[in-house]
Amino acid sequence: MCDNDFKRNQLSVVLYCFCSNSANAHLRVLRRIRSKISSSHKNQYVAIINDLLAYDERNEAQRGHDLWGSADMYDFYFEVAKKGLYYTSPVSRTKSLSILSQLAQRSLRPMFELLPSIKKMVGVPSWELQGQLLILSNCALHELCNDKTKLSNEDQSEDVRMIA
């Protein structure tokens, strides 16, 4: 399954579809995939995890199932992305940045520790990597603007309470 990129990614999503729709079941499948291929096929592993995260995001949006009730899902995906940033393959680093872009919508704060590593990628001559850096930057800026808006709205509501 690891030799053919297209089949690998599609089959992993098909297998993932058949697990029970709970965070615990999804984590068990993700950990099982990690135990089977992460040490021997690191680059393929990051690609599979990226595709499964995209599936989780689509599944949540379509069906309303919240797999993010526990921090374990976020932590699992974040650790995979964190390790993938240090792989030599630009494709793996691109997939890791893609994972981070998807996670940025959930929580941006843990990613601050990765900024030195991400900054080093700016000069890498891979257009896919550069494109994914732009997407991650866009997501980060969007979340930071949302946080600033939330803070200013909270400050305004506190001012209104103090006046009343």
Say how many CA atoms lie within 13 Å of 54 toward its Cβ. Answer: 15
* Residue 93 burial class via C-beta count within 10 angstroms: exposed 0-12, middle 13-18, buried 19 and up: buried
Whether the Cβ atoms of residue 129 and residue 90 lie closer than 8 Å to each other: yes
pLDDT of residue 157: 56
% of the chain exceeding 90 in pLDDT: 23
At 83 the pLDDT is: 93
Sign of the torsion angle spanned by Cα atoms 50, 55, 60, 62: positive
Q: How many Å apart are CA 74 and CA 9, to the nearest integer?
A: 21
- Asked whether the predicted pLDDT for residue 79 surpasses 90, the reply is yes
Q: Which structural domain, as residue segments, surrounds residue 87?
A: 5-163
pTM over 0.85, yes/no: no
pLDDT, tens only, 120-153: 898 888 899 999 999 999 988 888 888 666 656 6
Cβ–Cβ under 8 Å, residues 139 and 120? no
Total number of domains constituting the chain: 1
d(C-alpha 51, C-alpha 104), whole Å: 16
Which CATH number belongs to the domain containing residue 73 in this structure?
1.25.10
